[in-house]
């Protein structure tokens, strides 16, 4: 990065080149200022040491003690333990080394979820459309609430909210108030624990708030980015602004950095749109063990949780991975492909159980694990499949929909398709055409698929399961973007490239000097 910066700076030797760079950054600053929205009032509510606070309610004798919640890896630590350097996501043996008197309490996730639901119920009274980021964190937009209650000051509303949470749950919450989510998040972090910080909705207040802020406190700047910035002598947001020209030359994400230095962020609290996920997984941490019965029980529990997650998120996966961590904290991953996609407990457990047994058989000593996880990747989005077919069907003219549903066809004349997509489809006919059909549940023996246009023979096939399979197969093959009522012809196979011919040695051999005559030798020279 520094080499890229130095090379770019050498190219800015002329006044004209530097002026172009400054003009580019000035245009970007002007664009960012147009995005600044000071009309909203955003709250970021962050519970104080949430997991530890809930455990204090269960075990009051822990008050004032150095304790942490978790097992193997810590979820959180009390403020007394944090003074010794104990932090979230820290390995338990490291925490005990730096804090010998540390008390480690096992986690009770079901209790934490109930406490979180009680907290969110209180917050929903101020913004029914709140965005809950985690069990102990949420964003609220109280602009409408303030207007409906006589233009109440945001400070007063936040103070009342904190009192309501304390009365309902006995837990404390830190609240940051600002005109956008970025400033509100940083404000709640600065006022911990059990505090309130208000950033007035003006440009000057936003700039002053960010001026001396360490770059590490900016959401989105991690340890790697922090080191890169420190190498350029950038430690605060004010340094980001002062060195904005250099940043534009050597860091691709300089737009985000510049927006952070200006205190510009998203001013809308909305649920994030469903984005393409790479994987869905679950992990369980436990005391190190090599007992196969115990490992299999943990594996079954993990698969059961993952099955529920996949059903809620509406995904299937084509690759199933077993994740493990040895008692030495070394991780390993073993994967197996499942081309049809899996999501049920039986399918998941069958794959990872075989992978675990293979790992145990190949390990030279008894396999001792402290963590087991199951992950599925290469996901099939069932929501997209369902919505895509519905949209495709609704875009078709009424006559085409009726014809696609009812047109009989000869199974022998159906277009040839690959085995991965030749799955039968049952389409429920429209109400206008039911009079020509036998009574339910009888359906035409042969129908036309509204996605790929193929005529499909339905004789002797299960109904509902085949619908889903055919829809998924068609969409995964990308047929929904092509002509829906035209038979899909198989794509031509690429012609094989001819193999290069091996170089033949030359048949004309040069005679060796020993076999040459004197006349031939002196004649050549």
pLDDT reported for residue 428: 39
* CATH among 1.20.1600.10, 1.10.150.810, 1.20.120.1200, 2.30.33.40 for 1-35+202-262: 1.10.150.810
pLDDT of 458 above 70: no
Q: Which residues pair with 285 in a beta bridge?
A: 371
pLDDT reported for residue 392: 53
Distances (CA, A) of 390 to 341, 427, 471, 521: 22, 12, 10, 89
Burial bucket for residue 212 (CB in 10 Å: 0-12, 13-18, 19+): exposed
Say what the alpha-carbon torsion angle 206, 212, 213, 216 is, to the nearest 10 degrees: 140
* Mean pLDDT in residue range 466-483: 54
CATH of the domain spanning 279-387: 3.30.1490.100
pLDDT reported for residue 429: 42
* Mean pLDDT in residue range 363-369: 90
103-105, strands of its sheet edge to edge: 73-77, 67-71, 103-105
pLDDT digits (tens, 9 = 90+) for 144-181: 999 998 888 999 999 999 999 999 999 999 999 999 99
Q: What angle do CA 187, 191, 194 make, to 5 degrees?
A: 125
- pTM surpassing 0.75? no
Whether 45 and 136 have beta carbons less than 8 Å apart is answered as no
Whether 35 is catalytic: no
pLDDT reported for residue 259: 93
More confident residue, 377 or 425: 377
Q: Which residues pair with 177 in a beta bridge?
A: 43, 198
The upper half-sphere exposure of residue 340, i.e. CA atoms within 13 Å in the direction of its Cβ, equals 10
d(CA 404, CA 449): 7
| Spatial CB neighbours of 237, under 8 Å, sequence gap ≥ 6 | 210, 211, 212, 213, 215, 218, 260, 261
Distances (CA, A) of 254 to 220, 222, 244: 12, 14, 8
Of the spans 20-24, 480-484, 516-520, which averages the highest pLDDT? 20-24
Annotated active-site residue in 22, 92, 137, 469: 137
Whether 123 and 45 have beta carbons less than 8 Å apart is answered as yes
Domain ranges of the chain: 1-35+202-262, 42-46+109-198, 279-387, 448-474
pLDDT digits (tens, 9 = 90+) for 290-327: 999 999 999 999 999 999 899 888 899 999 999 999 98
CATH of the domain spanning 42-46+109-198: 3.30.70.270
The full DSSP string for 16-42 is HHHHHHHHHHHHHHHHHHHH---S--E
Q: Please state, rounded to an integer, the average pLDDT across all residues of the chain.
A: 79
pLDDT digits (tens, 9 = 90+) for 193-245: 899 999 999 999 999 999 999 999 999 888 888 888 888 889 999 999 998 88
451 closest CA partner among 386, 499, 503 = 386
Whether 220 and 77 have beta carbons less than 8 Å apart is answered as no
Q: Show the tokens assigned to 300.
A: 């079954």
């Amino acid at each position: 990065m520094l080499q890229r910066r130095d090379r770019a700076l050498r190219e800015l030797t002329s006044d004209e080149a530097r002026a172009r760079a400054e003009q580019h950054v000035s245009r970007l600053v002007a664009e960012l200022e147009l995005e600044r929205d000071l009309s909203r009032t955003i709250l970021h509510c962050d519970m104080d040491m949430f997991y530890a606070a809930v455990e204090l309610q269960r075990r009051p004798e822990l008050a004032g003690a150095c304790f942490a919640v978790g097992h193997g890896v810590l979820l959180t630590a009390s403020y007394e333990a944090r003074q010794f350097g104990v932090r979230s996501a820290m390995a338990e043996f490291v925490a005990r080394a730096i804090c010998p008197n540390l008390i480690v309490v096992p986690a009770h996730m079901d209790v934490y979820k109930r406490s979180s639901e009680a907290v969110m119920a209180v917050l929903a009274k101020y913004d029914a459309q709140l965005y809950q980021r985690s069990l102990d964190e949420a964003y609220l937009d109280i602009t409408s609430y303030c207007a409906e209650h006589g233009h109440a000051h945001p400070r007063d509303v936040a103070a009342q909210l904190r009192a309501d949470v304390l009365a309902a749950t006995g837990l404390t919450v830190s609240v940051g108030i600002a005109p956008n989510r970025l400033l509100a998040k940083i404000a709640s972090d600065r006022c911990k624990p059990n505090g309130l910080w208000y950033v007035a909705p003006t440009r000057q207040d936003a700039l002053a708030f960010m001026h001396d802020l360490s770059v590490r406190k900016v959401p989105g700047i991690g340890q790697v980015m922090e080191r890169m910035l420190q190498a350029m002598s950038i430690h605060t947001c004010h340094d980001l602004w002062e060195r904005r020209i250099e940043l534009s030359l050597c860091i691709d994400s300089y737009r985000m950095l510049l927006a952070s230095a200006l205190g510009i962020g998203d001013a809308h609290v909305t649920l994030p749109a469903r984005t393409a996920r790479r994987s869905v997984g679950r992990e369980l941490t436990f005391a190190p063990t090599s007992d196969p019965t115990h490992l299999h029980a943990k594996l079954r529990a993990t698969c059961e949780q993952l099955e529920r997650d996949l059903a809620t998120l509406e995904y299937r996966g084509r690759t199933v991975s077993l994740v493990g961590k040895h008692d030495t904290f070394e991780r390993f991953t073993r994967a197996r492909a499942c081309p049809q996609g899996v999501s049920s407990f039986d399918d998941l457990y069958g794959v990872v159980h075989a992978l675990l047994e293979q790992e145990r058989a190949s390990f030279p000593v008894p396999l001792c694990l402290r963590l087991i996880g199951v992950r599925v990747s290469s996901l099939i989005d069932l929501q997209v499949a369902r919505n895509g077919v519905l949209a495709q069907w609704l875009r078709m003219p009424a006559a085409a929909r009726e014809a696609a549903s009812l047109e009989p066809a000869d199974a022998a004349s159906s277009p040839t398709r690959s085995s991965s997509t030749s799955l039968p489809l049952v389409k429920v006919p429209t109400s206008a055409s039911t009079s020509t059909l036998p009574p339910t549940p009888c359906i035409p023996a042969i129908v036309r698929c509204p996605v790929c246009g193929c005529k499909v023979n339905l004789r002797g096939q299960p109904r509902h399961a085949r619908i889903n399979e055919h829809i998924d197969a068609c969409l995964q093959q990308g047929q929904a973007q092509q002509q829906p009522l035209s038979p899909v012809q198989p794509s031509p196979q690429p012609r094989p490239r001819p193999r290069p011919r091996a170089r033949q040695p030359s048949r004309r051999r040069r005679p060796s000097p020993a076999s040459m005559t004197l006349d031939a030798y002196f004649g050549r020279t």
